[in-house]
Amino acid sequence: MGRKPGPRKSEVNRHGLSRDIPADRALRVRRECGFGCVLCGKSVVHYDHFNPEFKDATDHDPAGIALLCGGCHDEKSRKYLSTATIAGARLNPLCKRTGFSWKKLGLQGEPIVDLGGAQFRRSPIQIAGRRLLEVKPGEEPGVPFRLSALFTNAVGHEVLRIEDNIWKASTGSWDVACEGGRISIRSGLSDYCLILRAMPPEGVKVERLDMRLGDYHVQCPDEETFLLLHQGRVIIDARYGVFDGVELIFD
Ligand SMILES: [Zn+2]
């Protein structure tokens, strides 16, 4: 059966159902899938109506919607993946088994990390015995440097780590969502503990952060501010600061 050329995708299906999934149902899908592709765990995903397919759906039933990354969604469209496989993974998603969703950062050269308004180049940060930021050279000439980082929420629970240029977002968070090149992690409805923007190929920018490590708080209340506090007292207040080749250790 041929298809007439026309608009790429209808806003509504033949039952009048909009593609827009209500926010509360989308959040439920994200949580039940562990915030990543149910098959491979990647953080950047589509909402895939698999039971029934969107064209046949009369509502957005979370049980029939799975998070799928572009690659796995493409495999489904090209008939290399069955609906039964997706349904099985929806019930036992990879991220729930591993504890995280992931994404590789497309970095080249020596990574630059912006924490709010402060820029860090070749400047590791250690706080309360934990490595907050670290860059290692590539394992051989010509391969990218390796960025590692650790982010917790305001009560000290890990929400995201970067290991050798791969971010791993914890499935234990209240919400994790990827959109517009960013990963946003919330502890509550409007309680953002981390908004991290990928800045390929240079590095990453932390646009919002509210994390605790021991008696320390690291905060980026906006894109221009970096605050480090110890027992409520401000130790560093940096706006448009550049840290280049400095090791910051607060133990
Ligand atoms: Zn996938």
Do residues 231 and 217 lie in contact, with contact meaning Cβ atoms separated by under 8 Å?
no
Residue 232 CA to ligand 1 centre (angstroms):
42
Both 93 and 112 in one domain: the answer is no
Domain match, 76 and 188 both:
no
Is residue 221 domain-shared with residue 133, that is, in the same domain?
yes
In a domain, 127, yes or no: yes
Q: How far apart are CA 96 and CA 149, in angstroms?
A: 22
DSSP, residue by residue, 118-147: EEEES--EEETTEEEEEEE--SSTTSPPEE
Residue/partner pairs of 228-236 with CB below 8 Å, 24 or more apart: 228/127, 236/118
* Domain assignment present for 72: yes
Q: What is the pLDDT of residue 3?
A: 44
- CA of 135 from ligand 1 middle (Å) equals 28
For residue 33, tell me if it sits in a domain: yes
pLDDT at 7: 43
How remote is the CA of residue 120 from the centroid of ligand 1, in Å?
Answer: 32
246 and 156 within one domain: yes
Measure 211 CA to ligand 1 centroid, in angstroms: 29
Tally the residues of the chain: 251
What is the 87 CA–ligand 1 centroid distance (Å)? 14
CA-CA distances (angstroms) from residue 195 to 42, 186, 191, 210, 232? Answer: 17, 9, 11, 10, 23
Give the residue from 98, 115, 132 where a domain finishes.
Answer: 98
Per-residue pLDDT of the chain (251 residues; tens, 9 = 90+): 344 444 445 589 999 999 999 999 999 999 999 999 999 999 999 999 999 999 999 999 999 999 999 999 999 999 999 999 999 999 999 999 999 999 999 998 899 999 999 999 999 999 999 999 999 988 888 888 999 999 999 999 999 999 999 999 999 999 999 999 999 999 999 999 999 999 999 999 999 999 999 999 999 999 999 999 999 999 999 988 899 999 999 98
Alpha carbon of 191 to ligand 1 centroid (Å): 28
pLDDT, residue 1, reads 39
Tally of domains within the chain? 2
Distance (angstroms) between ligand 1 centre and the Cα of 69 equals 4
3 assigned to some structural domain:
no
Q: Is there a domain that residue 141 lies in? A: yes
Do 70 and 112 fall into the same domain?
A: no
Q: Measure 224 CA to ligand 1 centroid, in angstroms.
A: 35
Domain boundary among 64, 98, 132: 98
165: left (phi over 0), alpha (psi -120 to 50) or beta: left
d(CA 228, CA 211): 10
Task: State in Å: Cα 40 to ligand 1 middle.
Answer: 4
Distance 17 CA to ligand 1 centre (A): 26
Same domain, 82 and 125: no
Write out the residue range of the structural domain in which residue 236 sits: 104-250
Asked whether residue 4 is assigned to any structural domain, the reply reads no
Where among 40, 70, 98 does a domain terminate? 98
Peptide bond into 201 cis (omega under 30): yes
Q: Are residues 156 and 215 in the same domain?
A: yes
